[in-house]
């Protein structure tokens, strides 16, 4: 291992501390806590874990957490009515509807119903548009967390070659927009990219967000590259019946070539909720002001 480890866990803890200080100031000045509403439909076990963790960290940061757990057979109309009620509620600053939603509910319709200025996930088309044209808005939490780690590690990103692997609305596309705004030369690679290893080899910065366990290999990397691994994949462990978490990058191999790399777990993962808290506080100040 020659690469430096990018410690997202420690960075996220520092960010949560800073948010906590600002949340206390908000409460002192405005006379109420900043409030985050999280809506969960159904009983997906992974989503339940995320929602519990979000609620706990929201309260620890000195903000108010409002959780709405709705049954899996909740109608689309009822969910939209719930979102409308949260839009109108002055003690709610941020609204997050946990994805994925059950198949009978149109996710895009739900996201479009969230008031853009309470959309702390940054998924609404208005916020995607604001990011694209450089206006202030909300940026999706995971890519914004990746950017914070990159800037902390590298300082200015201007002029660097960045390759984003993955083109999702939640990570790949906003990540590319953020890097472009930092004056990187950005390539968005995806499942149909020809000769992906050759494309990745150009990169000073690699952000892997494809959901394919350990796909990015050591010999795909330019020596010294900074590697941000967004993947969280559960695979079989060597021990029978056990599983382990791996990223989209072959960590052991990549660590011998990269200049710096995020581990999985403990890299990008903890940043998502920390940035969500930060976005909620920003929303609170905007909504109060
Ligand atoms: N499901 C998994 N991650 C997320 C997230 O960041 N936001 C929402 N709304 N749903 C998710």
Pair 174, 197: CB distance under 8 Å: no
pLDDT digits (tens, 9 = 90+) for 147-169: 999 999 999 999 999 999 999 99
Instruction: Quote the CA–CA distance of 143 and 123 in Å, as a whole number.
Output: 12
Mutating to test ligand 1, I would choose from 98, 272, 279 the residue with most ligand atoms within 8 A of its C-beta, which is 98
Instruction: Sort strands 94-97 and 161-165 into parallel, antiparallel or unpaired.
Output: unpaired
| Segments of the chain with pLDDT less than 50 | none
According to the model, what pLDDT value does residue 1 have? 66
- Bridge partners (DSSP) of residue 163 are 187, 206
According to the model, what pLDDT value does residue 189 have? 98
Q: Which of 33, 54, 173, 222 does the annotation list as catalytic?
A: 54
- Catalytic status, residue 242: no
H helices of the chain, where?
8-30, 45-60, 76-88, 107-113, 125-133, 141-154, 172-181, 196-200, 251-254, 269-288
Instruction: Quote the CA–CA distance of 90 and 99 in Å, as a whole number.
Output: 24
Residues in Cβ contact with 59 at an 8 Å cutoff, skipping those fewer than 6 apart: 65
Pair 39, 96: CB distance under 8 Å: yes
Question: What is the set of domains in the chain, with CATH numbers?
Answer: 31-115 (3.40.50.10860), 141-269 (3.40.50.720)
Side-chain half-sphere exposure of 206, counting CA atoms within 13 A: 36
- Catalytic status, residue 98: yes
Ligand 1 centroid from CA 98, angstroms: 5
* Phi–psi pair at 97, nearest 5 degrees: -100, 115
**CA 193 vs CA 165, 190, 214: distances in Å:** 9, 5, 18
ipTM, interface predicted TM-score of the complex: 0.96
Residue 168 annotated as binding? yes
């Amino acid at each position: 291992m020659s690469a430096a480890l990018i410690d997202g866990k420690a960075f996220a803890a520092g960010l949560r501390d800073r948010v906590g200080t600002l949340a206390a100031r908000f409460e002192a000045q405005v006379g109420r806590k900043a409030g985050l509403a999280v809506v969960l439909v159904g009983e997906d076990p992974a989503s339940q874990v995320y929602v519990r963790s979000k609620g706990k960290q929201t309260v620890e940061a000195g903000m108010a957490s409002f959780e709405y757990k709705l049954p899996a057979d909740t109608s689309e109309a009822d969910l939209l009515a719930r979102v409308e009620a949260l839009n109108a509620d002055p003690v709610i600053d941020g609204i997050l509807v946990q994805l994925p939603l059950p198949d009978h509910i149109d996710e895009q319709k739900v996201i479009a119903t969230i008031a853009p200025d309470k959309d702390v996930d940054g998924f609404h088309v208005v916020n995607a548009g604001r990011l694209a044209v450089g206006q202030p808005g909300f940026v999706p939490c995971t890519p914004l967390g990746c950017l914070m780690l990159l800037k902390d590690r590298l300082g200015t990103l201007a002029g660097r070659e960045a390759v984003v692997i993955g083109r999702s609305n939640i990570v790949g596309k906003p990540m590319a927009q953020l890097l472009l705004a930092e004056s990187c030369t950005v390539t968005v690679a995806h499942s149909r990219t020809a000769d992906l290893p050759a494309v990745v080899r150009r990169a000073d910065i690699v952000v892997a967000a494809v959901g394919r366990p350990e796909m990015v290999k050591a010999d795909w990397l330019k020596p010294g590259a900074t590697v941000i691994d967004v993947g969280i994949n559960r695979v079989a462990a060597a021990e029978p019946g056990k599983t382990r978490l791996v990223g989209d990058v072959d960590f052991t191999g990549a660590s011998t070539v990269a200049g710096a790399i995020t581990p999985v777990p403990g890299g990008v993962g903890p940043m998502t909720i920390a940035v969500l808290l930060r976005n909620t506080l920003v929303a609170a100040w905007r909504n109060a002001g």
